[in-house]
């Protein structure tokens, strides 16, 4: 009977030791995890701050750059001109109704290297609806105003496009049939007629969504001047990296320039 009791005590001791060891290992593992999480969070913040510093540096110099800091973080940036035969306008974000975005056909800010050729504007989604209510209408029309000529003697040409048949009877805009177009990595439901600019005459284009906000992209025959720059900054700290992408567009031409055909370089 005494031997049996001694066996029970040994079993209880073993169970207590196993339980204590399990609890201890669990607490240690949680502590290690919390410490690692805190370190990763700190590294992530350092990397993000370094990436922001890189953006600020490239915005100031307009050049690629790299640097390191005393807190063991660093950054590296690249600056790429926003141009090509097709690209998204407003970095792919919707342009608000009655607001505008510019398409430069000459070099900013001197209006030199004036471009000539053909371009087409794409906009909208297949899910857009044309209704009488401003709150439910999601189908935009476009007003495209093209300035050509010289800064001292500009010429304004106005184009109006609307895919909504119900509105065309009232606004007399050019009818646009829906489709499915893939441009610069985005999908669009409508495209304008091809707009031709005489060689060496382009200045700037103002594109305004009417009735609803919309996403837009442009496709051109090549050689169109830069629309600004894209700054890609990568910050590093330890084994953590954070990336920031910033679009730097040229200042928008005041709407009054297009409204009243008054152009002062």
Q: Which of 91, 98, 100, 86 is nearest to 222 (CA)?
A: 86
Residue 92 in this model has a pLDDT that exceeds 80: yes
DSSP 8-state symbol, 95: B
pLDDT for residue 81: 86
Q: E strands along 45-89, which residues?
A: 66-68, 73-81, 86-88
Torsion, CA 20, CA 23, CA 28, CA 30, rounded to 10? 180
The shares of helix, strand and coil residues in the chain, as percent rounded to the nearest 5, are 30, 35, 35
Share of the chain above pLDDT 90, in %: 53
Neighbouring C-alpha atoms within 13 Å toward the C-beta of 88: 17
Residue 263 in this model has a pLDDT that exceeds 50: no
- pLDDT tens column, 97-122: 999 999 999 999 899 999 999 999 99
Q: Report whether 91 contacts 247 (CB < 8 A).
A: yes
Q: Report whether 147 contacts 161 (CB < 8 A).
A: no
pLDDT for residue 169: 82
- pLDDT tens column, 43-82: 888 899 999 999 999 888 888 888 888 888 999 999 988 8
Please tell me the pTM assigned to this model: 0.76
* Phi/psi of residue 238, nearest 5 degrees: 65, -125
Residue 38 in this model has a pLDDT that exceeds 90: no
pLDDT for residue 111: 92
pLDDT for residue 35: 64
Residue 88 in this model has a pLDDT that exceeds 90: yes
Spell out a b/e string for 94-124, using b for 16 or more CB atoms within 10 Å of the CB, else e.
bbebeebbbbbbbebeebeebbbbebbbbbb
Residue 256 confidence class, pLDDT cut points 50, 70, 90: low
pLDDT for residue 37: 66
Separation between Cα atoms, residue 136 and residue 134, nearest integer Å? 6
Q: Give CA separation, 28 vs 21, 32, 38, 117, in Å.
A: 10, 6, 15, 69
Q: Report whether 239 contacts 43 (CB < 8 A).
A: yes
What average pLDDT is seen over the chain?
87
- pLDDT tens column, 234-244: 999 988 899 99
Neighbouring C-alpha atoms within 13 Å toward the C-beta of 54: 31
pLDDT for residue 265: 37
- pLDDT tens column, 183-220: 999 999 999 999 999 999 999 999 999 999 999 999 99
Residue 143 DSSP SS3: strand
pLDDT for residue 264: 40
pLDDT for residue 194: 96
Q: Which of 210, 188, 211 is nearest to 125 (CA)?
A: 188
Q: Which of 265, 226, 232 is nearest to 249 (CA)?
A: 226
Torsion, CA 175, CA 177, CA 183, CA 187, rounded to 10? 120
């Amino acid at each position: 009977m005494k031997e049996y009791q001694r066996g029970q005590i040994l079993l209880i001791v073993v169970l207590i030791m196993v339980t204590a060891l399990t609890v201890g290992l669990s607490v240690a593992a949680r502590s290690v995890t919390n410490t690692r999480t805190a370190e990763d969070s700190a590294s992530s913040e350092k990397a993000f701050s370094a990436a922001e510093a890189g953006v600020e540096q490239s915005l100031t110099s307009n050049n690629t750059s790299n640097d390191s800091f005393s807190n063991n973080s660093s950054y590296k940036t690249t600056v790429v001109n926003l141009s090509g035969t097709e690209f998204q306008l407003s970095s792919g974000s919707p342009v608000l109704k009655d607001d505008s975005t510019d398409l430069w056909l000459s070099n900013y800010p001197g209006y030199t290297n004036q471009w000539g050729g053909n371009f087409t504007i794409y906009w909208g989604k297949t899910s857009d609806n044309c209704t009488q209510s401003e709150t439910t209408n999601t189908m935009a029309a476009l007003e495209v105003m093209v300035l050509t000529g010289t800064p001292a003697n500009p010429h304004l040409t106005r184009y109006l496009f609307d895919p909504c048949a119900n509105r065309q009877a009232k606004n007399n805009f050019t009818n646009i049939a829906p489709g499915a177009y893939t441009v610069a990595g985005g999908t669009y439901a409508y495209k304008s007629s091809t707009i031709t600019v005489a060689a060496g005459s382009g200045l700037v284009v103002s594109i305004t969504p009417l009735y609803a906000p919309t996403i837009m992209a442009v496709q051109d025959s090549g050689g169109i001047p830069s629309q600004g720059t894209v700054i890609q900054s990568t910050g590093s700290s330890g084994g953590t990296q954070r990336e920031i992408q910033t679009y730097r567009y040229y200042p928008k031409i005041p709407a009054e320039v297009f409204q009243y055909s008054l152009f002062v370089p």
